[in-house]
Chains A and B, each alone.
Chain A
Amino acid sequence: MNAPAYAAPPAAEIIDAQVHYTRRGWPGRTATVRAVDGVSLSIMPARTLGLVGESGSGKSTAARVLLRLLEPTSGRVLLNGHDVTAVHGRELRALRRQTQMVFQDPYSSFDPLASLADSLSEALRGRAERGAERLAAAAELMAQVGLSPSLLSRHPRELSGGQLQRAAIARALAAAPSLVALDEPVSSLDVSTQAQIVSLLHSLQAQTGLAYLFISHDLSVVRRLSHDVAVLYLGRVVESGPVSAVYERPRHPYTAALLSAVPIPDPARQRSRPRIVLQGDIPSPSNPPSGCRFRTRCPWAMPVCAQTDPPATTTEDGVTTYCHLHSDGPRLAGESVLTLGDRPDTTA
């Protein structure tokens, strides 16, 4: 699937966003946590950008910046081509409706005391004023996500996880957004329900031309729905590009490790797959490693990796990789890291 030539601007874009927190401690021990440290993302209408990374990679923070739910320390946010970084107050609240979010746990994303009708009509504020109109619109939305409108009178606890996640999607649609951020929308659901939600999201995009930002720690689920993917590690993008290119030829060692970490439900194939098992844990974002942030866990780390930030390498299939292996090292120049072999010789 190649991207058609759009005349329209991206549905949403963040440029060089940084989110830093100051964690106070004893005098002199104040630490700056760099949750997001210079991330740029852009999503075209009717397309899906997958955002992947481990917990602590900053993916949810980046999404909240994009949705203007969180003030970035620096950087810009653009919606449909307009710079909205400086919008505040009442205008900001109106603006937020253009982007919506579906959360991981459907139960906590609904007010336990409110009926679905109540939650949906809150979302319809500004679209339909009268109660009856709102109710009709809510019923229509329910049907759109495959739920019976008779469920409108129910409370969240009375629905199954799958049903409630559909309702969450309906609530997002109610605001008539141009972008919906999906924050691990299926990870709390059962396998059989996951598949249902994924295909619902897929058909909704086909109908409405929505743009999606799909956030997940699981690369395999992202593949089903995304056109492009960006891989985040410790607050930075390490690799991004069209899904098929990234998946078939992972150029960054971290991408390759993530891909190999998800076991596939096919014993014969799973046994024969190359495995890259990363050692240790993701370092603290308050004290990230110098140079390439992944170097402490990278099987192919070289001396240069500790010294300078890796430069971007872009190949003709549209993949951008930040890794010294493609510029200073063995000069993979866009080839998959897997060509380096399974157990690398790391002395360099």
Chain B
Amino acid sequence: MRDLTAPRAGDDVASVSEALIGEVPVGEVPVDEGQATAAFVQPGQGADEEASPASAGTWRRLARQRGAVVAAGWLLLLVLAATLAPWVTLHAPAAQDLLHSFGGPSASHWLGTDDLGRDVFSRLVYGARSSLQVSFESVALALVLAIPVGLFAGYRGGQVDNIVMRFVDGGMSVPPLVLALAVVAALGPGANNASLALAIVFMPAFTRLIRGQTLAVKEETFVEASRSLGTPPVLIVARRVFPNVVSTIIVQASLTLGGALLAEAALSFVGLGAQPPSPSWGSMLQQAYSTGLFTHAWSLVVPGAAIAAGVLAFNTLGDGLAAALGVGRPSNGRRRRWGKSRLSRGLTRVDRGPVTAPPAPRSPDGDTSRDTLLSVEGLRVVLDTSAGPVPAVEDVSLRIGEGEIVALVGESGSGKSLTSMAIMRLLASPPAAVAAGQVTFAGQDLLSMDLGELRRIRGRDIGMVFQDPMSSLNPSIRVGEQIAEAVRLHERVARRTARERAVQMLVEVGIADPAARMRCYPHELSGGMRQRVMIAMALVCGPRLLIADEPTTGLDVTVQAQILELLRRLRRERMAVLFVTHDLGVVADLCDRVAVMYAGQIVEEAPIDDLFARPRHPYTEGLLRASRSAQDAIGESAAITGSVPALGRRPAGCHFHPRCQYAIDLCRTVDPPLVRESGRYERCHRAAELTLRGVA
């Protein structure tokens, strides 16, 4: 990929704000791809969806940010005052009154007078003229030059891009203010020259930003779609690329204006900006400093405060715009609200309200009453969204016996991953909280534990494997150390012993040359190997229960087969597994019992052969038919219409009824109860009367 430029990758976007306020925009930080994205909650599972950037909602989102609104108001006031200066001031800015030098505030001189008795307020207002003018001019000029160059270099790529970027790099290697000073040194002092000098300072950073963004957008699939539609390049850049870059430009322009104001003030402070008699904030400060430092320190405050307030306003507006336009957010994924996250996020909040009697446990059933290892009763997980709390997992009950492999199957949005994370209390609070239910592991109540107690169970008694091994492994720690860490967290053993155990575990998960692999960082391994490392890490303490959350999703089928074989081999060691997946084929391959989830509820649970041969819930039937029709030869037609309801839009009654071909009136109004019959559970009003088709 772009690894050759990796050390500074991500810089492209970061450069302007780096250059001006010294900040790297979020999401473009040179952490590795994907790591920075917040995703305790899986996408689509409770993240509040935000509308597309630059839609009508932008103004609303901007208006919600009080700071940004105040900042915009202040800037508007400044611009108005500056343009209407003769009408809002009582005195000419250069009118001297030597009898009243350093006068205090009065009705006539609102902010007092300076060393020559000139009115500070009018000088401030007239000073705003030159300060703002230089800021706006320089940023505008830089943009006018940088936008076409950046778009062209980014979209065209190749040699043109190379040459442009060499110049940009060169320009950016000169400290910004030094560059401005050097240019002014050659051109001579004055407001216009200051504008020009600052434009030269800003241009490389803008070019780099726009070029980087263009490059990123150009790689997007929708640009390839446009190319394959034969749309001419000019139109692609104008209609597809530029609009997607423009919000970043707006944000950076606002932040750059703050930087420009600062730089202009610095230049005039050393006498290289606006020349007397026309005042500017920087030269006012210089004057106050050279004449009033020892006698009238107060005179230092006003011009400096004006500069600071202006810069603060531009910066705040820029931040507000960034939030409203969604700039700096990871491009491929909706970020969830920041909220008042606490460090206690290592532990999902349990808020069961006034203590209620524990729900009557489902009577143990002859068939599944192997020694229960994990039991979940009436679990309810609520997510805090912008529209208020929304139930994501509703009344889920599940039981896993010693050594049993239980599948939790569902489509995205079914709440299966949330359920598995809630058991370990690994959901971030907020937004997630457990609102009801019991989770009992080997006789211990996990939901009433504090972090210290739960820590002793996590990793030792319950291991966990996640979906995306690349982002789930720490990128800056060698994998061997990460595995050994799991040992040392739970057992008092020497570092060496822990390392030996890790090597042994790597052998067990089928990694060749384990000693060498121990020293690898995650990015040096293939996807399949990373997942083996994750499994080794989860198993190294010999847990009694393994929770595997979509462990093969995203891997190639051949690698998936390897991982499944590994899990099948490990099951002989009498470890129970909760296997979360959307793939019924994987379930058929590995599991003893299946629980099917739909829209936050378990709709059916049964031993594997029973469920596949004789499903009792219409959703299960549809799912079976859908996966078969997607796989087998031409013939079957689609089984289920429509799609899974979004969180917070789950229909009343049976959540599945709008998509169910067997629905009757009862289904539309009454939530069906979970019914047990001969070792199976289902949540359907018509389970008894329907005869549903399974696999032949």
Contacts and interface: CB of A to CB of B under 8 A. Distances in A.
B558 A223 contact: no
Contact of A55 (B49, B556, B627): B556
Contacts of B643: 160-163, 190, 192-193
Given A195-B638, A198-B629, A263-B564, A109 B222 contact: yes
Contacts of A97: 228-230
A190 B412 contact: yes
Interface string B27-53: 000000000000000000000010111
A169 B634 CA distance: 20
Interface stretch (B108-116, B173-181, B578-586): B578-586
A113 B243 contact: yes
A112 B228 CA distance: 18
Contacts of A82: none
Interface string A257-295: 110111111111110000101111110000000000000
Contacts of A244: 633
Contacts of A93: 230-232
Given A108-B222, A157-B49, A157-B52, A126 B639 contact: no
Q: Is chain B's binding surface mostly helix, strand, loop or mixed? A: helix
Contacts of A101: 224-225, 228
B1 to A, nearest CB: 10
A237 B628 CA distance: 28
Interface stretch (B84-92, B153-161, B618-626): B618-626
Contact of B582 (A191, A195, A270): A191
Contact of B629 (A108, A158, A224): A224
Nearest to A243: B633
A37 B51 CA distance: 44
Contacts of A114: 239-240
B630 A281 contact: no
Interface in B544-574: 556-562, 564-565
Interface residues of A, number: 80
Contact of B623 (A192, A223, A281): A192
B76 interface: no
Interface in B375-418: 411-412
A123 interface: yes
A277 B630 contact: no
Interface string B416-427: 000000000000
A263 B586 contact: yes
Contacts of A65: none
B228 A67 contact: yes
Contacts of A161: 643
Contacts of B558: 54, 257-258, 261, 277-278
Interface in A85-101: 90, 93-97, 99-101
Given A54-B556, A69-B227, A112-B53, A198 B630 contact: yes
Interface of B: 4, 49, 51-55, 220-222, 224-232, 239-240, 243-244, 332, 411-412, 512, 526, 528-529, 556-562, 564-565, 582-589, 608-609, 612, 622-634, 636-641, 643-644, 695-696
Interface of A: 24-25, 54-55, 67, 69, 90, 93-97, 99-101, 103, 105, 108-114, 119, 122-123, 125-126, 155-158, 160-163, 168, 171, 175, 186, 190-196, 198-199, 202, 217-221, 223-225, 244, 257-258, 260-270, 275, 277-282
10 closest residue pairs by CB, A with B: A263-B585, A265-B584, A93-B230, A261-B561, A263-B589, A220-B631, A190-B411, A192-B640, A195-B638, A195-B626
